[in-house]
Chain A
Amino acid sequence: MNFLKSFIRNTAYITTGSLLVSAVMVTFFSGLDSIKSVILWQNLLLGLICGFVSALLFPENNMPKLESPLRHAVHFLLMTAIVMLCGYLFGWYYLSLPSVLLMLGSVAVVYAFVYFSTAMQYRDIANKINKELEERDDD
């Protein structure tokens, strides 16, 4: 159940970030006026794959604290590899240096978007809990 919740949450964040970057890329870099609907399914599929791997890599429990930075580095590299592979298969970029760099930049932007979105959400939860703890102490 926890795995499913984690999978759905990760998929939602990653798909949203991926769609945002796709919109920016198509609008400003592709030179196209319209896109094929398949790109939406490709984004969803990518979100599902990345969401699944993320849920596997970050279980709800039993995650030793010291491993976290290393786990994040592995996670970032895995996400990059998955997006680059899928992007190549979907025809999102060509094997040229500018195209690959643009794609890598997109991965970094989506990763940062997901990371800061979740960080802000958790910071908000911590603030609420801390406020309640302070009020209890005052009582």
Chain B
Amino acid sequence: MKITIQAPREGEEEEIIIRAGSISPHTFALIEALGGKSSGRLVGYVGECMEILQTELIFYFEAVDNRVFAYCDSEVYEVKQKLYEIEELLCNDNFFRASKSTVLNISKIKRIAPLFNGRFEALLKNGEKTVISRQYVSVLKQKLGI
């Protein structure tokens, strides 16, 4: 692997660009070491393939049988982080804990409707529906500034 270090021009921010056809485990480890997760991006796995996920394209994360999946418009990726780690990682973005097993992207919610006993059903922009538990409605309200 060729490593090039260039001094930025005056006034320019320091930047690291990785030029790679696909992300190998070594490259991924390097991204993680450089704080790649904190840049608001996560790595999603589909079989053996890895892809850096753009969080703004993710509708929600769901924990199923101790595995966590990121649901985009039509693609589903497995992520290695636990749900609570994703919640912490993306707490400053549009994401919030919607139930014990889901973390939801507010910008992907079309509208919500009340269900029985304080729970709400969120209709997402891709037509999917997911439940917001009563205890997390206050988190959503807080995020929306209500």
Contact = CB atoms under 8 A, between A and B. Distances in A.
A77 to B, nearest CB: 16
B28 interface: no
B83 to A, nearest CB: 13
Contacts, number: 62
B144 A129 contact: yes
A125 B111 CA distance: 12
B72 interface: no
Contacts of A119: 114
A118 B117 CA distance: 8
A30 interface: no
A36 interface: no
Nearest to A10: B117
B119 interface: yes
B120 A126 contact: yes
Contacts of B118: 58, 60, 118, 122
Interface of B: 99-100, 106-107, 109-121, 131, 133-135, 137, 140-141, 144-146
18 contacts: A60-B134, A61-B100, A61-B134, A62-B100, A65-B115, A68-B116, A68-B117, A71-B116, A72-B116, A122-B120, A125-B120, A126-B120, A128-B146, A129-B146, A132-B144, A132-B145, A132-B146, A133-B110
